[in-house]
Amino acid sequence: MRTAKRSSEPKTRRKPVPADSAFRDPQFDPSRPVDMEAFQAELVNLMRRANVRPDLIRAYRRTGLLVTEKNWRFLSPEDRREWELAVTECHKRNEKAAEGGPQ
């Protein structure tokens, strides 16, 4: 915790407050744009480690949408169709693989 406190001060130019994360990335530089490829790769790794279903991971990778039961209602009809198509295609691919057919 002490290291996290010390490392946050130079980047934020203020003393840390209790709401600040103790787990912040010391390499993070808010003046640089986020590397979206690295971000998405890390998110997929986290999803796998959290045992998120493979069809949902594939749908995220295909659509770029992170869909939950809570945010489903906020998706546009087009985004819903795209998400459902990605999940359905993953299921079909898995069925073919289970039958021994080409993926």
Residue 22 is which amino acid?
A: A
Give the pTM: 0.63
Q: Tell me what pLDDT residue 99 has.
A: 80
> In the predicted model, is pLDDT for residue 1 greater than 50?
no
More confident residue, 11 or 53: 53
CA separation, residue 93 to residues 3, 66, 102 (Å): 48, 21, 8
The answer to whether residues 20 and 8 touch, using CB atoms and an 8 Å cutoff, is yes
Residues 55 and 10 in one domain: no
How far is residue 27's CA from residue 14's CA, in Å, rounded to a whole number? 17
More confident residue, 79 or 5: 79
- Each residue's pLDDT tens digit, 22-36: 556 677 777 788 888
* Residue bearing tokens 């010391």: 26
Residues 38 and 70 in one domain: yes
Residues 25 and 54 in one domain: no
Residues 66 and 37 in one domain: yes
